[in-house]
Chain A
Amino acid sequence: MSLVRVDALHKSFGNNEVLKGIDLSIEAGEVVSIIGRSGSGKSTLLRCLNQLESHDSGVIEINGRTLDATTMTPARLSEEVGMVFQNFNLFPHKTVGENVMLAPMVVRGERERDAARRARKELERVGLAEKFDAWPEQLSGGQQQRVAIARALALSPRVLLCDEITSALDPELVGDVLRVLEQLASEGMTLILVTHEMGFARDVGNRVVFMHQGRIHEQGDAKTLLSEPQTPELQQFISAVL
């Protein structure tokens, strides 16, 4: 059974239909890169997967459970899906350690000692163990984004959604964040990324999904798809970004 299953997903903002029937299955351990022009619906699709946007029709199942705002509380959903944002969104009034500890303590009721131990472990995983007591504003963008990843990982989600998480970073900091993702992928984490990093999509990703005008226009094995795009739209897109 697929870990994530999307069936006939539709979503409109007013009169603008952004998702025009998306079907997608993702297996546990897959690294899926969603690419496409801005406005193609890729971020909306990602945000539907954790209900930051509610869908109009269609079905989303994660780990066999149907996403439905009335039955799926944020707490319950956070066991399945984590998310990292383009702009990090760390909590500026909390230290790095507190950022990572907040949800385990508040949502899961973990004791402070346990949450702190877990937070140190996750920060070590992203290479920032020594920043536990630092404030977010003291960190570089790349470091903040790695803290955001650690914060998401502290809840042990089955899937990690990454919404253009390197787009707000200075070029020299992108590598650090991508290395963390690569390590997560090698550990078997299921990753769904909206990304412009074609190199990463090709080398680390299993699959590439190309979205165009609210539909999945083409998808397949990452290396094959990016080296031999079948549709003119994808050919055009690839030549535009490379």
Chain B
Amino acid sequence: MTDFTLWDIVRNLLLAMRWTVALSLIAFAGGGLVGLALTVLRLSPAAWVRRLVALYIELFQGTPLLMQLFLAYFGVAALGVDISAWTAATIALVLFTSAFLCDIWHGCVRAIPVGQWQAARVLGLDRLRTLRHVVLPQALRIAIAPTVGFSVQVIKGTALASVIGFAELTRTGTMLNNATFQPFTIFAFVALGYFLLCYPLSLYARYLEKRLNVAGSR
């Protein structure tokens, strides 16, 4: 057995943390884009489009992220498509994130009084212009705090990518433990890693929420 110093462990975990951060950022950015598109679709005048988006959200919210990862990795591979753990994890997390963000943002859009839509409409703005100039800018303000809050869930969700072999923070911790048999030390550091990523975001979300409540309607 090779000897690992404490610094070796920390250094390897820090290096692995980059992948956790990268996966989180991509999941969040990609999920944000898909989620925004879904939010707009969910406001469509066509009922079947709205139902389809609602079904999508129900599917991703109603099944464990772990199963979504298995499907994206083992399931897709079983179909004969060669897919890397990185790609599978990215796809699964983007879809998962988009469903939750769409739900959050849809709630924020619905919180904008219907009078705003009507006022824009009688001024000649069509649906998309109303969204862009009137509804979304107002919805965005109330969406920021819950969105930042949800980003914490995304970061913690990336830990599940370890089970399909993606070497992010958790997976690296498992591998180090297999080599050193120091589970308490290692997983404490892994947990600390997540905490250092998540806690500032939680604080920031709380700060934003408080500021929003003070700032009133503007």
CA distance A93 to B133 in the complex (A): 10
Interface membership of B64, Cβ < 8 A: no
Interface membership of A91, Cβ < 8 A: yes
If the complex has contacts A85-B115, A102-B133, A106-B133, are A93 and B218 also in contact, measured as CB distance less than 8 A? yes
> Across the interface, do B123 and A155 meet the contact criterion of CB distance under 8 Å?
yes
CA distance A50 to B141 in the complex (A): 30
Give which listed residue, B118, B125, B134, contacts A107 with CB less than 8 A.
B125
Q: Mark A88-121, 1 if CB is under 8 A from B, else 0.
A: 0111110000000011001110000000000000
> Across the interface, do B116 and A74 meet the contact criterion of CB distance under 8 Å?
no
> Across the interface, do A135 and B218 meet the contact criterion of CB distance under 8 Å?
yes
Residues of A within 8 A of B218 (CB): 92-93, 135, 137
Q: What is the interface size of chain B, counting residues whose CB is below 8 A from a CB of the partner?
A: 21
Closest Cβ of chain A: how far from B140's Cβ, in Å? 9
> Across the interface, do A103 and B124 meet the contact criterion of CB distance under 8 Å?
yes
> Across the interface, do A78 and B124 meet the contact criterion of CB distance under 8 Å?
yes
Q: Mark A57-90, 1 if CB is under 8 A from B, else 0.
A: 0000000000000000111111101110101011
CA distance A152 to B133 in the complex (A): 17
Chain B residue with minimal CB distance to A73?
B126
Q: Offer 6 A-B interface pairs, CB within 8 angstroms, sorted by A.
A: A74-B122, A75-B126, A76-B124, A102-B134, A107-B123, A148-B119
On B, residues with C-beta under 8 Å from A are 113, 115-116, 118-126, 129, 133-134, 137-138, 141, 216-218
Closest 5 pairs (CB-CB, A-B):
A78-B124, A89-B119, A103-B123, A107-B124, A89-B115
